Chain A
Amino acid sequence: DAGVIQSPRHEVTEMGQEVTLRCKPISGHNSLFWYRQTMMRGLELLIYFNNNVPIDDSGMPEDRFSAKMPNASFSTLKIQPSEPRDSAVYFCASTVGQANSPLHFGNGTRLTVT
C-alpha cells in the first residue's frame, strides 16, 4: 500500500534557481497539504487543496512560492527564485475527508539553497 510519495528526497541548489518539489498523494485522498519544517518555525502549513482546488494559501511565504494540483494524483510546489532562507524540509501530506482529518505525510524533500 503506497503512501504519499515525494520527490526528490534531497535538493541542493544555488540561490536564484528555480526549485520544483513533487508529491503524489495516497489514492482516494481528496485533500493535500504542503508543510515546511525548520528548527526555528516548526511545522508550518503553506497551502492545502481540497478536490484539487486551493482552499487556503495564506501560509505561502511570498510570491516566489506557488503550488499547483492539476489532478487528484499530483501536486507541485515551486520556488522561483530560491533563496538561502528557503532551506528546510518540505512535507506533503494527504487525507480523506475534512481538513482536520488525520494526515499521512510523505518522506519529505530536504531543500538546501546555497
Chain B
Amino acid sequence: GQQVMQIPQYQHVQEGEDFTTYCNSSTTLSNIQWYKQRPGGHPVFLIQLVKSGEVKKQKRLTFQFGEAKKNSSLHITATQTTDVGTYFCAASGSARQLTFGSGTQLTVLP
C-alpha cells in the first residue's frame, strides 16, 4: 500500500517559535490531507491539498503540496499552547484509500 513518511516524530518548541512537520512519499499522490489530534482526542480534519505546488493558509498555519506531488509540509508560525497535539498527514495514491503518516507530536513550552 501507500507508504508515507512523516518527520519529525517529536518536536518541542518554546511558545512563539515556529514549527514545521514534513510528509514524504516515494510515489505520486492524488491528494494529501492534514489532521490534528489533541491529547486524548480524536483526529480532526484540517485541510486537503490536491494541486501540484498548492499552498493554503489557515490563520497561523500554512500547508504546502510539493510540485511533484510527493511531499507536503505544515508550518505553524508563532506557536501557541493551543497548538499542542499530534499532527498527521494522510495521503492517497493509486489505491485511493488514505494512508496516515506516523504523526508529529508537538509540545509547546510556555
Within 8 A of A (CB), among B66-104: 88, 90, 92, 96-103
Please determine whether B45 and A102 come into contact, CB atoms closer than 8 angstroms.
Answer: yes
Please determine whether B44 and A105 come into contact, CB atoms closer than 8 angstroms.
Answer: yes
* Residues of chain A within 8 A of B35, CB atoms compared: 103
Q: Does B42 contact A (CB under 8 A)?
A: yes
Across the two chains, which residue of chain A brings its CB closest to B47? Answer: A102
* Residues of chain B within 8 A of A34, CB atoms compared: none
Q: How many residues of A contact B (CB 8 A)?
A: 16
Could you tell me which B residues sit within 8 Å of A by CB distance? 30-31, 33, 35, 41-45, 48, 88, 90, 92, 96-103
* Residues of chain B within 8 A of A107, CB atoms compared: 41-42
* Residues of chain A within 8 A of B45, CB atoms compared: 102-104
Cross-chain contact of A42 among B30, B31, B100 (Cβ < 8 A): B100
Across the two chains, which residue of chain B brings its CB closest to A56? Answer: B97
* Residues of chain B within 8 A of A99, CB atoms compared: 92, 96-98
Interface string of A76-99 (1 = CB under 8 A from B): 000000000000000100000011
Please determine whether A102 and B42 come into contact, CB atoms closer than 8 angstroms.
Answer: no
Cross-chain contact of A45 among B31, B43, B97, B101 (Cβ < 8 A): B97
Cα–Cα distance between A103 and B98 once the two chains are bound (Å): 9
* Residues of chain B within 8 A of A45, CB atoms compared: 97-100
* Residues of chain A within 8 A of B100, CB atoms compared: 42-43, 45
Please determine whether B97 and A91 come into contact, CB atoms closer than 8 angstroms.
Answer: no
Please determine whether A98 and B96 come into contact, CB atoms closer than 8 angstroms.
Answer: yes
Please determine whether A100 and B92 come into contact, CB atoms closer than 8 angstroms.
Answer: yes
